[in-house]
Amino acid sequence: MLSRRSTLLAASAIAAVVGFSLPQAAHAADQVVKIGIDASLTGGDANEAELVKNGALMAIEEANAAHVVKGVKFEGYVLDDGTATAGQYDPAQAAINARKFVADKAVLGEVGPQMSGAAKAMIPIASWANLAMITESATNPAMTDPQNAAQYRPNGKPVFFRTVATDAYQGPNLANYFADTLKVKTLYVLDDSGAYGEGIADAFQAQAAKKGITLLGRDKLDPKAADYSAVLTKIKELNPDALFFGGVLQAGVKVVKQVYDILPHTMIKGGGDGLVGGEIFTAAGYPAAEGWYATQASPHVSDAANTKDFVAKYKAKFKMSPDDYTITAYDGTLVLIDSVKRVKEAGKPLTRENVRDMVATAKVPTLQGTVAFDENGDIQDKVISIFQAHDDKADTACKLEDASCQFKYIGVAPQS
C-alpha cells in the first residue's frame, strides 16, 4: 500500500514523464527523412572523411533543432565506402552503399561521396532511383559531362550535383599558376592510377602543354606499392622544373616523403585537393611536406569572417578544425534540406524525384555563397584556391594534423 508521500512522489514522477514525453510524442509523428552520407572513413583518407561527415551531420542537427522543415525530422545515415583491403575508397563498397541508400525508402538524398572513384560506382545506381547526390569533394569532371549521360544518367535527368568545382578547373588553373607565376618550363607528371588522380593529372598536363610547358614524362604509380624510388630516380635524371602529382593520400604520403629523399629540394611540387589532408603532415611530415602546392576546388572560406560561428561551433562539438570541404559538405546538406522544404511548401509529396527536381533548381544561401547548379549538376560559381604547405614554427596553435592551417592560403588560381 502506498503511503501518501510515496503516492505524491509517484504522481509527480508520472507527471514528469508525461510532461517531458508529450512534445516528443508530437515529434515522433514527424516524418523521418534520411540523408545518406557516404565517405571513405577507412583507409588513407579517413581523417578528411571524418571532417566532411561531421559537417553534414551538423547541418542535419541544426535543421532539426530549428525545425526548418515543419513535420520533418532529418536523420543522417552514414556509410563507409573505404575498406581495409583497399586501404582507401573501394568502388565495390561504394556500389553496395548506393544500393543500401536506394533500398531504404526514407533516404531522399545523399551527401557525398568524398571520392570520384566511389562516385562513379554510385551514380548509375542512384540514377535509377532518382536519388539526388550532392558531393562535397568528388571533382572528376566525367560524372557531370553530358557526353557520359548514358553512363551517369541512365534514367534521364542528372542526379549528381557538386558544391565544388571540378578537376577540369582544378588541374588547369594550377597549371596556369605554375606557368604564369612560378615560370615553370619543364614538367613531370605522376598519378596514382585512380579515377580522380588520373583525371586531374590529365587536365593539368593538357593545360600545361597549352601554356608552353614541356612535358618530360608521365608515370602511373601503384598506390599500394611502398617504393617509388625507381621512378623518382628517373625524374631526378630528367631534372624538370616542376613535378605534379595527381592522387589521394595513400600514394600521396609516400610520394611526398620519397620526393624529399630523392629529388632536389628546390623543385616545384604540386598536387590537387587529394593532397590536402592531415596525413601529409603526420605521416610524411616536415621537412618533406614543406613547399608542396595543393588546391581546393572551392573558395577558401574556412577562415573567412562569415564562417567564424560555424568554425567555432564545429570545433567545440567535434574537437577538430573544419576544412573547406567540411564547409562544402555542410553546404550540400543545406541544399538538400532546403529542397525538402521547398517540396513540402509546394504541397507535393516527398519523393526522391521531387527532391531531385528541387535540388536542380536550388538557389540556396550557404557558407560559401549562393549555391546553384547548371543543367549538368555542376556548381555555377567555380573557384579554385591555391595553398602551399609551410612549417610556421611560430604558429603553435596550428596542430600538425590540421591540414587546414598547415596549408597556407595563397590565393585564387588564375582561370583561363
Partner 1 sequence: MTAVDVYLQQAINGLSLGAMYSLLALGFTLVYGILELINFSHFNVFMVGSFIGLGMLELFGVMPNGAALTGFALVGVLLATFAVTMLGSGVLGVLIERVALRPLRNIRGPASMITTIGVSYVLFNVILLSVGADAKNFPSPLPSVSFAIGGAVLRLREILIWVISLGLMGGLTYFVQFTKMGKAMRATAQDPEAARMMGVEVDRVIITAFFLGSALAGAGGLMFGLYYNITSYVIGFQAGLRAFTAAVLGGIGNVPGAMLGGIIIGLIEAFASYGFTAFGEHWLGAKWADVIVFSILVLVLVFKPAGLLGRLAPNKS
- The alpha carbon of 353 is separated from its chain's Cα centroid by a whole number of angstroms, namely 24
**Phi, psi values for residue 105, rounded to 5°:** -65, -25
Q: Which of 34, 120, 153, 254 lies at the binding interface for partner 1 (CB under 8 A)?
A: 254
Q: Which is nearer to partner 1, 254 or 352 (CB)?
A: 254
Residues 226-245 that bind partner 1 (CB under 8 A): 226-231, 233-234, 236-237, 239
Q: Which of 75, 104, 222, 345 lies at the binding interface for partner 1 (CB under 8 A)?
A: 222
Q: Which of 36, 76, 82, 274 lies at the binding interface for partner 1 (CB under 8 A)?
A: 82
Residue 275, CA atoms < 13 Å, CB-side half-sphere: 34
Residue 299, classed as helix, strand or coil, is coil
Q: Which of 73, 99, 257, 390 lies at the binding interface for partner 1 (CB under 8 A)?
A: 257
The least CB distance from residue 209 to partner 1, in Å, is: 17
Q: Which is nearer to partner 1, 179 or 275 (CB)?
A: 275
Least Cα distance to 271 among 248, 242, 300, 294 occurs for 294
Q: Which is nearer to partner 1, 87 or 414 (CB)?
A: 87
The least CB distance from residue 260 to partner 1, in Å, is: 10
Residue 219 touching partner 1 (CB under 8 A): yes
- The alpha carbon of 346 is separated from its chain's Cα centroid by a whole number of angstroms, namely 31
Residues 382-401 that bind partner 1 (CB under 8 A): none
Q: Which of 52, 253, 364, 371 lies at the binding interface for partner 1 (CB under 8 A)?
A: 253
What are the C-alpha distances in Å from 373 to residues 60, 134, 242, 351, 362? 21, 11, 35, 20, 7
- Please name the helix (run of DSSP H) or strand (run of DSSP E) that holds residue 38, with its range, or none: strand 31-39
- Please name the helix (run of DSSP H) or strand (run of DSSP E) that holds residue 318, with its range, or none: helix 308-318
The least CB distance from residue 303 to partner 1, in Å, is: 24
Instruction: Determine the interface stretch with partner 1 among 93-101, 252-260, 350-358, 369-377 (rule: CB under 8 A).
Output: 252-260
CA angle 188, 191, 196 (to 5 degrees): 135
Residue 43 touching partner 1 (CB under 8 A): yes
The least CB distance from residue 135 to partner 1, in Å, is: 21
Q: Which is nearer to partner 1, 124 or 194 (CB)?
A: 194
Least Cα distance to 179 among 244, 234, 256 occurs for 244
How many chain residues interact with partner 1 (CB under 8 A)? 42
Instruction: Determine the interface stretch with partner 1 among 4-12, 202-210, 248-256, 321-329 (rule: CB under 8 A).
Output: 248-256
**Contact yes or no for 333/111 (Cβ under 8 A):** yes
Q: Which is nearer to partner 1, 307 or 404 (CB)?
A: 404
Report the 10 Å Cβ neighbour count for 401. Answer: 16
Peptide bond before residue 365 is cis, with ω within 30 degrees of 0? no
Q: Which three cell numbers stand for residue 259?
A: 620526393
Mask of contacts with partner 1, 347-386, x by CB under 8 A? ----------------------------------------
The least CB distance from residue 250 to partner 1, in Å, is: 8
Residue burial 370-392, b: 16+ Cβ < 10 Å; e: rest: ebebeebbbbeebbbbbbbbeee
Residue 342 touching partner 1 (CB under 8 A): no
CA angle 60, 336, 323 (to 5 degrees): 65
Q: Which is nearer to partner 1, 46 or 133 (CB)?
A: 46
Residues of this chain that interact with partner 1 (CB under 8 A) are: 42-44, 46-47, 82, 84, 87, 193, 217, 219-222, 224-231, 233-234, 236-237, 239, 249-250, 253-254, 257-258, 261, 278-279, 282-287
